[in-house]
Amino acid sequence: MALLHGFTQTRRCWNGLDELLSQSHEVVRVDLPGHGEAGPVGRPLEETADLLADEVGAAIWVGYSMGGRHALRVAVDHPEVVEGLVTIGATAGIETEAERAARRALDAQRASALIVQGVADFLDEWMRLPLFAGLPPEAAHRDERLGNTVEGLASSLVVAGTGTQAPMWGDLRGAEAPAAFVVGGLDEKFAALAQRLDDAWGGPSRVRTVAGAGHAAHLEDPAAVAAIIDELSRVAA
């Protein structure tokens, strides 16, 4: 089972979910480009998906937010290594070029602000976004996130942000592996995206909602998310 973290996080930011899953699964936690020990250089999603498929091999892929986009890219480009898929607060991309361009411009602004502010101030601002309003400080892994570098995070924003990726919605119909699209019950934007993922996915799938949680449902209620992943793994077996 491969765990792919979100932006500003590292492989250590799974808040006990990895410990719950390790009781019955072999778990591989990955530092994505620009984060943790992966080095200060971001990579496009397509390139990272190739590396992940080659290095991890066949697995159930679990990805949160940015990590969910990476997991979806692996599923589209390398279905042979995807035994099952779980995304948490994820999207298959922005469909129009105008909207993608606007997102690239926003992420470039964020990268510039990051360079000026430094990681600590940028992270405090990032965690004040409405997406994370319900995330308690003890579950946010701030100290671990502070280990990331300005260069790495800025590179990730510019090279692997949502605006840089080709939309994958039309590619999901060919998927065959079972999937669960997880979303926090308070995360309205990504609830709609989870339903779209479910509708587009070619294999058996369902939306699973974590009641009372926001965007980072796996950090707010790791036990509930672990139960969903365990259920999916039984279907994939």
Taking residue 160's Cβ as centre, other Cβ atoms within 10 Å add up to 26
Adjacent-strand bridge partners of 206:
180
Q: Which residue in this structure is represented by tokens 């308070």? A: 186
Pick the closest to residue 177 from 99, 132, 233 (CA basis).
Answer: 233
Rounded-to-integer distance, Cα 166 and Cα 72, Å: 12
Rounded-to-integer distance, Cα 195 and Cα 201, Å: 10
Residues 59-94: pLDDT tens digits? 999 999 999 999 999 999 999 999 999 999 999 999
Residues contacting residue 55 through CB under 8 Å, at least 6 positions apart? none
Helices (H) and strands (E) in the chain, counts: 10, 6
Rounded-to-integer distance, Cα 157 and Cα 160, Å: 6
Q: What is the pLDDT of residue 40?
A: 83
List of E strands, 55-168: 59-64, 82-88
Q: What is the pLDDT of residue 68?
A: 98
Residues contacting residue 110 through CB under 8 Å, at least 6 positions apart? 122, 157
**Amino acid, single-letter form, for residue 150:** V
Listed as ranges, residues in the chain with pLDDT below 50 are none
Rounded-to-integer distance, Cα 35 and Cα 29, Å: 12
Q: What is the pLDDT of residue 82?
A: 98
Residues 188-209: pLDDT tens digits? 999 999 999 999 999 999 999 9
Q: Report the sign of the C-alpha dihedral through residues 205, 1, 227, 209, in that order.
A: negative
Rounded-to-integer distance, Cα 237 and Cα 219, Å: 26
How, if at all, do strands 59-64 and 82-88 pair? parallel
- Alpha-carbon torsion, ordered 234, 215, 2, 93, to 10 deg: 100
Rounded-to-integer distance, Cα 71 and Cα 219, Å: 18
